[in-house]
């Protein structure tokens, strides 16, 4: 919660009565008569946003007998048998909130493990959940958490959650995870119906149909899939997702800290606007519905929603958004009201070593200037799968390019157009207000590690087609970038953030992110050679829990594509191998050498050291999760990678690992460059290192 301290929050929550349970003495055995009836709580239980004395608890207990409200008892205990109950309260649940419940439990001890459960008036109980409180802000012990993203249940399975639970249950208490940071795409609002799927597959994935929108949904993108068109449609997504047994078990075991990415509202959505390739769709009412469903199903401390019992939805109508301020924020009142109905950016403290700062990459994001019709002539007849880096920077930065010296023309190969961006402001991902809050939090954070929880990846997607052989095409534009819609294209604002880190002498700055459906490890730097390479921190992207990634899509691509060797090596009936990892990490010559010879040592020897000094590791086919351990001296990040989760594993460990790779970085001093060391702990990382 931005700048809303705990005492204020408790006061606020206390004024709501039923929503607050306070740790009580004497501690006694449960007398609730709880009998577990998981069928009556079909989405299980969850906890979220712990601090050192309190945590939010969650469940859903639907009634279908015509009543409009009911009461649940909440019990919190120090033991899973509930012989030492420390807090109880009655809480009201409302049909109008889809029978979901959020209860703040306060007065707890720091760095402690608790168990909780809900009981209805007839003694029917939820499953038992486990949660943890944060260590006190001066607690010097090492801290651990996991970060995850992107879990599509319609075309993948949740084996990664099973693996995380399996390992955590067997870890020594001091090595267990403190919380799970979920960086979004918790749900995918784009859902395929049976008539939209050919042969039961998308690429190599088996498509299933667990989501049935109450309205039937709306067919979009030339009938490729359906999207929600009401609040109940969004709620149905959470109902279906939370009935996945592995995800539900994870929510019952770990406190979650959640931030949405795009799919919690809309695939190509920004602010309250949707895009499906056929112009802008004004969707203020759906943005409010998406926010309401998120609030109802994710226990989180998110203003301005102060009433934990029910989301207070502003009345909005869908109206054209035409006027944008210099930070890209659409000024139309319904747009502003919809966005402001839920503020997700917030920070969380975890002991002496973690200040976690979460930002929202979609609600305030300005219009994307690379979507403009003016640009089209530059790309006519172009077959390259990438475009010039200089052009990407000029489009992004507008009038701020080169410290206020944008070129008169935008150039690609032999073509040029007038620079339609020359008088326009730079793109903003965060918007002015959030950015000011974020930079202030960064400058004043005093934990050892300042961790930016960011749904979108920051590393550049850079390639060096100037090193392609002439037969692949005549490239005259220097470095290039692969198409992307994340921080890899937001050069100006990313630079502003990294400059602020440098100028304030912030050390221990590390970014953890998702969305790319791939694992990346490297350095946070605003520019790459021949410009000055000046890393100010670390940057990690975690592979998807289940969603399919670029490698799986490319595997199924045409083998006749002249650029294919840059992305895939096909040899002698062997499965295709992702030279795209070498392309991004080492450049064109490495990728082509491997595609030609299959010799990884020779491929690495052909590396262009200037293409990607910001990267240590890229796996475009990686799925799973990442863990972080920090202490006073070091940050240790592990990537736990599983094979593509096409079928649910029936093993208790969630199935085999592909690899586990570790990145260790000693804390650096202001002005020093961070240096990470990579160790493969098990398995084979293939072409990723
Ligand atoms: Fe995703």
| DSSP-assigned beta bridge partners for residue 115 | 77, 130
* Domain region containing 236: 6-134+179-350
Can you say how many angstroms the Cα of residue 304 is from the centroid of all Cα atoms in its chain?
22
Whether the bond into 335 is cis, omega within 30 of 0: no
Centre of ligand 1 to C-alpha 253, Å, is: 23
Q: Answer yes or no: do 342 and 435 share one domain.
A: no
Cα separation of 320 and 362, whole Å? Answer: 18
Residue that finishes a domain, picked among 350, 371, 397: 350
Asked whether residue 288 is assigned to any structural domain, the reply reads yes
Asked whether residue 622 is assigned to any structural domain, the reply reads yes
Cα separation of 661 and 689, whole Å? Answer: 10
Q: What is the pLDDT of residues 642-654, one digit of tens each?
A: 999 999 999 999 9
Centre of ligand 1 to C-alpha 346, Å, is: 21
Centre of ligand 1 to C-alpha 517, Å, is: 6
Centre of ligand 1 to C-alpha 342, Å, is: 21
Q: Answer yes or no: do 101 and 187 share one domain.
A: yes
| 348 and 359 Cβ atoms separated by less than 8 Å | no
SS3 603: helix
Asked whether residue 174 is assigned to any structural domain, the reply reads no
Asked whether residue 373 is assigned to any structural domain, the reply reads no
Number of Cβ atoms within 10 Å of the Cβ of 183 = 27
| 396 and 428 Cβ atoms separated by less than 8 Å | no
Q: Answer yes or no: do 479 and 596 share one domain.
A: yes
| 488 and 457 Cβ atoms separated by less than 8 Å | yes
pTM of the predicted protein model: 0.97
Centre of ligand 1 to C-alpha 625, Å, is: 13
Each as own residue / partner, the long-range contacts of residues 228-233 (CB below 8 Å, 24 or more positions apart, any chain) are: 228/189, 228/286, 228/289, 228/290, 229/286, 230/289, 231/289, 231/292, 231/293, 233/289
Centre of ligand 1 to C-alpha 157, Å, is: 14
Residue recorded with tokens 């226990």: 299
The packing angle between helices 588-597 and 579-586, to 10°, is 150
Residue that finishes a domain, picked among 316, 350, 384: 350
Q: Answer yes or no: do 339 and 458 share one domain.
A: no
Cα separation of 569 and 599, whole Å? Answer: 11
Q: Answer yes or no: do 328 and 476 share one domain.
A: no
Q: Answer yes or no: do 469 and 331 share one domain.
A: no
Asked whether residue 614 is assigned to any structural domain, the reply reads yes
Q: Answer yes or no: do 523 and 610 share one domain.
A: yes
pLDDT confidence of residue 305: 84
Which CATH number fits the domain that encloses residue 221?
2.60.40.10
Asked whether residue 393 is assigned to any structural domain, the reply reads no
Centre of ligand 1 to C-alpha 544, Å, is: 7
- Give the H or E element holding residue 638: strand 634-642
Asked whether residue 606 is assigned to any structural domain, the reply reads yes
In three state form, how does the secondary structure of 90-151 look? EEEEEHHHCCEEEEEEECCCCCCEEEEEEEECCCEECCCEEEECCCCCCCCCCEEEEEECCC
Q: Answer yes or no: do 453 and 330 share one domain.
A: no
| Pairing assessment for the beta strands 45-48 and 255-258 based on DSSP bridges | parallel
Q: What is the DSSP letter of 191?
A: B
Q: Answer yes or no: do 345 and 470 share one domain.
A: no
| DSSP-assigned beta bridge partners for residue 384 | none
pLDDT confidence of residue 22: 73
Centre of ligand 1 to C-alpha 103, Å, is: 29
Residue 400 CB contacts under 8 Å (≥ 6 apart), including other chains: 406, 425, 426, 492
Centre of ligand 1 to C-alpha 191, Å, is: 13
Centre of ligand 1 to C-alpha 149, Å, is: 7
Cα separation of 489 and 421, whole Å? Answer: 15
Residues of the chain below pLDDT 70: 1-19, 24-25
Residue 526 CB contacts under 8 Å (≥ 6 apart), including other chains: 491, 494, 495, 498, 499, 534, 536
Asked whether residue 369 is assigned to any structural domain, the reply reads no
Centre of ligand 1 to C-alpha 497, Å, is: 24
Whether the bond into 525 is cis, omega within 30 of 0: no
pLDDT confidence of residue 218: 98
Centre of ligand 1 to C-alpha 42, Å, is: 25
Task: Output phi, psi for 434, to 5 deg.
Answer: -65, -40
Residue 404 CB contacts under 8 Å (≥ 6 apart), including other chains: none
Centre of ligand 1 to C-alpha 554, Å, is: 17
Centre of ligand 1 to C-alpha 512, Å, is: 15
Q: How many domains does the chain have?
A: 2
pLDDT confidence of residue 2: 38
Q: Answer yes or no: do 112 and 201 share one domain.
A: yes
CB neighbour class for 127 (10 Å; exposed up to 12, middle 13-18, buried from 19): middle
Centre of ligand 1 to C-alpha 187, Å, is: 9
Q: Answer yes or no: do 129 and 264 share one domain.
A: yes
Residue that finishes a domain, picked among 350, 374, 399: 350
Q: Is 404 left (phi over 0), alpha (psi -120 to 50) or beta?
A: left
């Amino acid at each position: 919660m931005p700048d809303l301290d705990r005492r204020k929050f408790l006061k606020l929550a206390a004024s709501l009565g039923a929503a607050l349970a306070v740790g009580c003495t004497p501690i006694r055995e449960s007398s609730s008569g709880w009998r577990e009836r998981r069928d009556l709580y079909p989405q299980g239980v969850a906890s979220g946003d712990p601090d050192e004395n309190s945590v939010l608890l969650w469940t859903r207990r639907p009634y279908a007998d015509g009543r409009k409200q009911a009461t649940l008892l909440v019990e919190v205990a120090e033991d899973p048998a509930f012989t030492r109950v420390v807090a109880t309260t009655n809480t009201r649940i409302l049909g109008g909130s889809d029978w979901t419940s959020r209860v703040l439990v306060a007065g707890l001890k720091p760095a402690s493990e608790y168990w909780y459960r809900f009981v209805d008036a007839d003694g029917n109980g939820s499953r038992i959940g486990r949660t943890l409180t944060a260590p006190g802000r001066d607690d010097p012990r090492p801290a651990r958490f996991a970060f995850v993203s992107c879990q599509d249940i319609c075309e993948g399975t949740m084996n990664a959650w099973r693996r995380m639970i399996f390992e955590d249950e067997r870890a020594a208490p001091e090595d267990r995870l403190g919380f799970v940071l979920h960086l979004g795409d918790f749900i995918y609002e784009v859902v395929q119906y049976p008539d939209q799927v050919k042969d039961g597959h998308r690429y190599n994935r088996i498509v299933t149909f667990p989501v049935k929108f109450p309205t039937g949904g709306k067919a979009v993108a030339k009938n490729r899939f359906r999207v929600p068109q009401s609040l109940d449609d969004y709620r149905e997504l959470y109902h279906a997702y939370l009935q996945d047994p592995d995800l539900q078990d994870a929510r019952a075991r770990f406190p979650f800290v959640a931030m949405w990415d795009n799919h919690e509202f809309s695939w190509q959505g920004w602010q309250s606007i949707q895009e499906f390739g056929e112009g802008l769709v004004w969707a203020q009412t759906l943005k409010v519905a998406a926010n309401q469903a998120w609030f109802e199903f994710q226990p989180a401390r998110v203003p301005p929603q102060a009433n934990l019992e029910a989301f207070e939805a502003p009345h909005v109508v869908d109206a054209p958004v035409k006027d944008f301020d210099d930070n890209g924020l659409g000024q139309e009142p319904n747009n502003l009201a919809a966005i402001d109905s839920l503020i997700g950016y917030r920070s969380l403290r975890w002991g002496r070593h973690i200040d976690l700062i979460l930002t929202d990459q979609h609600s305030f994001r300005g219009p994307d200037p690379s979507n403009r019709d003016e640009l089209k002539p530059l790309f006519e007849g172009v077959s390259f799968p990438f475009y010039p880096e200089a052009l990407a920077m000029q489009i992004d930065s507008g009038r701020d390019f080169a410290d206020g010296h944008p070129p008169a023309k935008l150039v690609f190969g032999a073509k040029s157009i007038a620079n339609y961006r020359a008088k326009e402001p730079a793109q903003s991902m965060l918007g002015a207000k959030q950015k000011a809050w974020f930079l202030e939090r960064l400058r004043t954070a005093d934990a050892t590690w300042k961790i930016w929880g960011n749904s979108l990846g920051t590393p550049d997607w850079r390639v060096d087609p100037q090193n392609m052989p002439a037969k692949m095409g005549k490239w005259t534009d220097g470095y290039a970038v692969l198409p992307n819609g994340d921080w890899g294209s937001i050069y100006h604002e990313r630079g502003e953030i990294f400059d602020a880190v440098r100028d304030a002498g912030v050390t221990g700055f590390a970014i953890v992110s998702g969305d790319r459906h791939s694992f990346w490890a490297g350095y946070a730097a605003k520019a790459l050679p021949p410009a000055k390479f000046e890393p100010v921190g670390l940057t990690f992207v975690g592979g998807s829990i289940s969603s399919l990634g670029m490698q799986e899509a490319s595997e199924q691509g045409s083998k006749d594509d002249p650029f294919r060797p840059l992305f895939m090596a096909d040899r002698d009936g062997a499965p295709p191998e992702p030279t795209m990892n070498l392309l991004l990490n080492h450049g064109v010559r490495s990728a082509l050498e491997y595609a030609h010879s299959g010799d990884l040592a020779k491929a690495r020897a052909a590396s262009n050291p200037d293409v990607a000094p910001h990267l240590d590791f890229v796996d475009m086919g990686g799925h799973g999760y990442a863990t972080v351990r920090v202490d006073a001296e070091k940050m240790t990040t592990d990537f736990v990678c599983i094979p593509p989760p096409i079928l649910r594993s029936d093993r208790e460990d969630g199935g085999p690992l592909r690899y586990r790779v570790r990145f260790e970085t000693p804390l650096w001093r202001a002005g020093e460059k961070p240096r990470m060391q990579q160790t493969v702990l098990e398995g084979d990382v293939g072409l990723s290192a």
